[in-house]
Amino acid sequence: MALLGNVKVRLKWVKAHIGIRGNEMNAALAKEATSDGSLIDLPDPKSFLKNQLMMLSLDRWQVQWDNGEIVRSIYSIVPKICNKQLHWSRECIQFATGLPPVI
């Protein structure tokens, strides 16, 4: 830790790539990579695939919900499917469904 206390960092702005050997070399390599390089096909990240699967599932569920014939009283209140939990009270559910309380 004592060594880290004596470290001095200095940042300096460099105008373009003119006259600085390292920067000119980097620019040349970057230019070569963009013109002569081959494309790499990377697989989609797992999070992207999970999101796509979720969206497809919700779309399919929405179609079934739109075309269904069961619980139409709920559909008039909640026409759009959502994967978030709805915090309805027992009384609200009974009112929306028209079902009596379970004893």
> Please, how many CA atoms are within 13 Å of residue 61, restricted to the half-sphere of its CB?
12
Give the span between the Cα atoms of 56 and 30, in whole angstroms: 39
Q: Sketch the domain layout of the chain as residue ranges.
A: 46-97
How far from chain centre, in Å, is Cα 57?
16
Which token pair is 51?
Answer: 């999101």
Neighbours of 74 (CB within 10 A): 15
Instruction: Tell me the pLDDT of the chain (103 aa) as tens digits.
Output: 555 667 777 777 767 656 777 777 777 887 887 887 677 788 899 999 999 999 999 999 999 989 988 777 778 788 888 888 888 888 887 887 777 777 7
Q: Is 14 helix (H, G, I), strand (E, B) or coil?
A: coil
Measured in degrees and rounded to the nearest 5, phi and psi for residue 56 equal -65, -40
